[in-house]
Structure 1
C-alpha cells in the first residue's frame, strides 16, 4: 500500500476534530510511525502532510494561523445561505433528508447570522438593505447569481454622520456634477461555514451578484481555520477583487445566541455583549469600483420590487439631505 493510502487510513484516528487542539507535525510523525508499514523519512512524511492538507478529499487539514494539523470535517450540505433554505429547488433541501426539524433549525441559524451582520454593520455607521422576496418559493434559480442577501451603503460625503446628521451639501453637489454617486454600494453574500468543497461556488455567486454594485463581500459566520481554504479564497480575491471575511462565530456559539428578533431588538448592553462574542477577521479586502453599473441596476429594478425599494430609499436620502436607515413600508 502506498504511503498516501496508509496515511489516509491512519490519520483520521490520530487527528483532533477541533483546530484549536491541532497536533504539531513532530508529534504527528511520532504517532503515525507506530502504525505505519515501511521506512519513510521525516521529510517524506512532512511533505505528504502538506500536500494532503491541500486536498479537500483528504482527512488532514492544516491550521490557517499557527502550527499543527487537525481532522477535516465531512462536507456540509449547501445550506449556508438563506436562498438555499428559503426556496428555489427542493432538491437543495434533500441533503437534510426532508427532515423538517433540521431545515427549521438550519433556517433559524441563518436568520441569526443575518441579524448579527445587520447589527454589526449598523454599529459601524453603514446602512444595510436586505433582499428577501427574490429568494422566496418559486423564484427563478438565476436569482442566486443576480441578487445578494444584503447591500451595504456607505455615504461618501467626506464626514462622519449618523441618522440625524445632514449630508454635506457641497460634497454632495460636487459628486452629482461629476456624475459620481454620493454613496458606495457593496453587495454581500452570507454563509455560515466555508468548506473546500463549496467555497468556489460561494465566491462566484458573490462575484456575479456584485457586478451591478461597486464591490462585493463574502462573509462567513464560522472562523476559517483551514490554511488551504484561506489560501484558495485569497487567490480568488487577488484575481477578482471580492472581499472575504469571517465573524469568528463557531456553530456552538451561534446555537447559544438568542433568536434573530431578539438580536435585532436588543438593548445597548445586550448588543455590546453580543459584539464581544464576534471575532471579526478580514481574510481578503474587497476592491471597489468607482462607478455603479446603472444599466444592470435598471434591469434588476424592472425584475424586482425590492431593487426598486432600494433605489427609492437612496433617492429619499439624497432629497432629504441625510442618511436614514431603511424602513420597510
Structure 2
C-alpha cells in the first residue's frame, strides 16, 4: 500500500501525542524526513494535508482515525489517543513574535522580483509620511508595497519602439497588503483592507507568512477571492523563491482617480509614479535605487531572517 498524507499525519501525531495543526504536522514530518515516503506532495503540501484530514473526518466514518479538537486554531488529534488518562490539550497560546510586518517587506520584494508572474520592482509606501487629514479619511487608502513590471526585459528594442509607436505597452502595476499571519478572526478585516488599498492596481494581493490551515478558512478565502478579485500569496521563510501565489488576482484596469489621490496624499507613492514616468520616457530603468532592495544571495536572505528572528 502506498504511503499517504493520512499515514503521515497519524505517524506524526502518534509520535508527538498531542493535538497539532496541519502546519505543525507537516513541519515535524519534514524534520523527520517522513515526507520523502510520499510518492509526491506538490507545491502546497500543508493545504493538501489539511484537505485529506478534513475529508477523512467528514466522510471516513468508523475508519477515520482523526478528531478535530479546536477550530481556531484548527488542531487535530487521534481518536485512539483520547482516554481518561490522556486529556485533550488546550490550544497553545499564540506565539509572540518580535519582528515587525515591515521586516517581511524585503522578502516579498525579493519574491516578486524573482517570480516569473511578477518580475516586478517594488517600493514600500510609508503610511506615516502621508498628509495628515481628518481622522478616518485616509484609513485603508495606502497599500504596504507597490510594484511595477516593465516591458524592457520582455521584448527587444525594435519591438518596444513599435509598441511605443502604437501607443501600447505591457507595463503592469501591482499592489500588496502584507500581514504576519491571518486567521478567521482577522480574515475579513485584512481582506477588505486589501480590497480598499489595492483594487486600484492592475493586480492586488493580500500577503501573509502564516495563515489558518482549517479547510473552512481556505473555502472562505476562495469565496472572497472569487467575489472581489484580490489574490493571496504565502511567503516562505525557508526559501523566498518558493513563496506561492495560492490564489490569483483578477486583472483590472488602473483606477486613475485613486492613483491621483494617492499621489496627492503620499510622497512615496508620488515618487513611485514619477519614477515610472521617467523610465518609460527613456525606455529603460534608469536607477534601481529608486526601488526597494532585494536579496542578492541565499546567504544574505538566511542571515536577514535570522537577524530579524522571523519564524
Q: Same fold (TM over 0.5)?
A: yes
The correspondence for 1:112, drawn from 98, 103, 111, is 103
The answer for the alignment partner of 2:221 in structure 1 is 233
Q: Shift in Å at residue 199 of structure 1?
A: 1.5
Q: Tell me, yes or no, if the aligned pair for 2:152 and 2:283 is still in contact at 8 Å.
A: no
Q: Shift in Å at residue 324 of structure 1?
A: 4.3
Q: Shift in Å at residue 114 of structure 1?
A: 0.8
User: 1:278-293 to 2 correspondence within 5 Å?
Assistant: 279-289=242-252, 291-293=253-255
* Structure 1 unaligned residues grouped into runs of 5+: 1-12, 30-41, 64-69, 78-101, 254-273
User: CA deviation digits over 1:249-307, x for unaligned, max 9?
Assistant: 3xxx6xxxxxxxxxxxxxxxxxxxx54xx532222111111x21112211222222222
The alpha-carbon distance between structure 1 residues 283 and 123, as it changes in their structure 2 partners (threshold 3 A), is closer
1:246 is aligned to 2:252: no
The correspondence for 1:188, drawn from 176, 185, 190, is 176
The correspondence for 1:320, drawn from 270, 277, 282, is 282
The correspondence for 2:164, drawn from 148, 169, 172, is 172
Distance 1:319 1:157 in 2: 12
Q: Detail structure 1 runs of 4+ shifted over 6 Å in the superposition.
A: 22-26, 135-139
The answer for the alignment partner of 1:149 in structure 2 is 144
The answer for the alignment partner of 1:221 in structure 2 is 209
The alpha-carbon distance between structure 1 residues 237 and 133, as it changes in their structure 2 partners (threshold 3 A), is closer
Q: Shift in Å at residue 191 of structure 1?
A: 1.2
Q: Tell me, yes or no, if the aligned pair for 2:120 and 2:148 is still in contact at 8 Å.
A: yes
SS of 1:16 mapped into structure 2: coil
What TM-score comes out, normalization by structure 1 length?
A: 0.57
Q: Tell me, yes or no, if the aligned pair for 1:134 and 1:147 is still in contact at 8 Å.
A: no
What TM-score comes out, normalization by structure 2 length?
A: 0.60
1:121 is aligned to 2:120: no
Q: Tell me, yes or no, if the aligned pair for 2:131 and 2:265 is still in contact at 8 Å.
A: no
Q: Tell me, yes or no, if the aligned pair for 1:76 and 1:195 is still in contact at 8 Å.
A: no
Q: Shift in Å at residue 106 of structure 1?
A: 2.9
* Structure 2 unaligned residues grouped into runs of 5+: 1-16, 29-48, 78-88, 292-311
The answer for the alignment partner of 2:265 in structure 1 is 303
Distance 2:92 2:214 in 1: 11
Q: Tell me, yes or no, if the aligned pair for 1:159 and 1:168 is still in contact at 8 Å.
A: no
Q: Shift in Å at residue 166 of structure 1?
A: 9.2
The answer for the alignment partner of 1:92 in structure 2 is none
SS of 1:287 mapped into structure 2: coil
Distance 2:242 2:91 in 1: 22
Question: Alpha carbon RMSD of aligned pairs, Å?
Answer: 4.1
User: CA deviation digits over 1:23-50, x for unaligned, max 9?
Assistant: 9969x99xxxxxxxxxxxx84997x957
SS of 2:207 mapped into structure 1: strand
The answer for the alignment partner of 1:270 in structure 2 is none
The answer for the alignment partner of 1:37 in structure 2 is none
Q: Shift in Å at residue 196 of structure 1?
A: 1.5
Segment of structure 1 superposing worse, 166-175 or 188-197: 166-175
Q: Shift in Å at residue 72 of structure 1?
A: 5.8
SS of 1:147 mapped into structure 2: coil
Instruction: State the aligned residue count.
Output: 232
Distance 1:25 1:321 in 2: 52
Distance 2:136 2:235 in 1: 28
The alpha-carbon distance between structure 1 residues 317 and 217, as it changes in their structure 2 partners (threshold 3 A), is same
Q: Shift in Å at residue 212 of structure 1?
A: 2.0
Q: Shift in Å at residue 235 of structure 1?
A: 1.3
